[in-house]
Amino acid sequence: MARQRNVWGSVRKLPSGRFQARYTVNGRVHSAPTTFATKRDADSYLANVRTELSKGRWLDPAAAAVPLRVYAERWMTQHPGLRPRARELDESELRLHILPALGDVAIGDLTVAAVRSWRSAMLRAGSPGPSTVAKCYRLLRAILNTAVEDELITRNPCVLKGAGVEHAPERPVVTIAEVYELADAIQPRYRAMVLLAAFGGFRLGELQALTRARVNLLHNEIEVVEQLHELKGRLLTGPPKSDAGIRKVAIPAALKPELEQHLAEHAAPGKDGLLFCGRQGQSIRRSNFNAAWQRARETVGLPHLHFHDLRHTGNTLAAATGASTKELMARMGHASPRAALIYQHAIRERDHAIAQALDDMINATKRETRQDRRGA
């Protein structure tokens, strides 16, 4: 076998007739990932590597050989700040949709074409849905962004324009009258949950975690500091979806008698007792609530309405009062942590005005309903 050396690396001719290029960095010998048909091609490869080294852009090809599966698992362990529910969703997306197709591919071998092919295959199959495909793409992009920071790869192959954007259909909005129909149709212990979701914009997990101490009927406010998570069958109480979710929400005065009755008849005892609970004071599981919710929505003729749609309805009703975008974001817990802190105190008076306007709308609907009944 003929071996030809230059001042930096070496090229040797293999028994097959092809050429192998090797070079040394920091005392360690590296080989080109492929062999070459001609010596000129091998020399050209070495020249390119030398250029990358001189510009500080060279990456160890052995490091880029780590399979995505191994790197993704390491990435998950190095992100302890993920919310419990977010971690569960990320793990599920990795297990079900990313790793089966790409898990055994080396980080350095992931190309734009490979990512495009993976995404297109999911979209063609129709499962998971487009929203989940977008979430999976964003997760893969986040993992590979870290791989770039770790100097395993020089460029993130997740560069498909718009691939991480969700185009979810517009959520339905129900009327105030329909909200009260749903509240009338559901089990009495869940009635106030329906009203607070619609007129306070609370998430289900936030309602599940509320205690008596968080309800201030003197000032018609409810404080959100945590929410209930269900992770693999376990119930865990943790922080809201984001830091902005920690907030005080002014509620319409029309809900005060509803909450007073609920506190008297259904809430668990003691200041730390759950506002919404089972008959023994235990946390409400989503499966139990969903069964009651499904019966209620079918009773009133809204079989496809999701409970979260009530939160969207609340946001829409609040917007109808003239609330600004910043006020709505703060009321719904959608602002970034920094924005939430900036506007937290500034919007308190305005938030009560929003609640008063909602109260006026509720009372107007009630009056119209009573008039309709008398007219009938």
- Map out the domains of the chain as residue ranges: 3-58, 64-149, 176-375
Catalytic site includes residue 343: yes
Taking residues 156-179, report their average pLDDT: 86
pLDDT higher than 50, residue 342: no
Q: Which two tokens stand for residue 142?
A: 């986040």
- Choose among 161, 164, 157: nearest CA to 102: 157
pLDDT higher than 80, residue 81: no
Output the CA torsion sign for 125, 129, 135, 139: negative
Catalytic site includes residue 180: no
Catalytic site includes residue 334: yes
State which H helix or E strand residue 325 sits in: helix 325-332
Decide: 266 and 370 in contact? Cβ < 8 Å.
no
Instruction: Show Cβ contacts of residue 181 under 8 Å, excluding neighbours closer than 6 positions.
Output: 300
Q: Which of 97, 189, 191, 203 is catalytic?
A: 203
211 secondary structure, DSSP code = B
Taking residues 71-83, report their average pLDDT: 86
One-letter amino acid for residue 156 of the chain: N
Q: Which two tokens stand for residue 74?
A: 């390491």
pLDDT higher than 50, residue 339: no
Domain spanning 176-375, CATH class: mainly alpha
pLDDT higher than 60, residue 254: yes
Write the secondary structure of 108-156 as one string of H (helix), E (strand) and C (coil). Answer: HHCCHHHHHHHHHHHHHHCCCCHHHHHHHHHHHHHHHHHHHHCCCCCCC
Q: Which of 45, 137, 180, 343 is catalytic?
A: 343
Report the DSSP pairing between strands 247-250 and 221-224. Answer: antiparallel
Which of the four pLDDT bands, split at 50, 70 and 90, describes residue 326? confident
User: How far is Cα 210 from Cα 134, in angstroms, rounded to an integer?
Assistant: 32
**What number of other Cβ atoms are within 10 A of residue 323's Cβ?**
22
Catalytic site includes residue 338: no
pLDDT for 352: 80
Q: Which of 18, 116, 306, 334 is catalytic?
A: 334
Q: Which of 95, 308, 348, 367 is catalytic?
A: 308
Q: Which two tokens stand for residue 200?
A: 């306070």
Which of the four pLDDT bands, split at 50, 70 and 90, describes residue 344? very low
pLDDT higher than 50, residue 314: yes
Cis before 172? omega within 30 = no
Catalytic site includes residue 285: no
Q: Which of 311, 312, 331, 350 is catalytic?
A: 311
56 or 205, higher pLDDT? 205
User: How far is Cα 297 from Cα 73, in angstroms, rounded to an integer?
Assistant: 41
Q: Distance from first CA to last CA of the chain, Å, rounded?
A: 103
pLDDT for 170: 67
pTM of the model: 0.65
pLDDT, tens digit, 9 for 90 and up, residues 181-239: 999 999 999 999 999 999 999 999 999 999 999 999 999 999 999 999 887 778 888 88
CATH number of the domain located at residue range(s) 64-149 in this protein: 1.10.150.130
Q: In the predicted model, what is the mean pLDDT of the chain?
A: 87
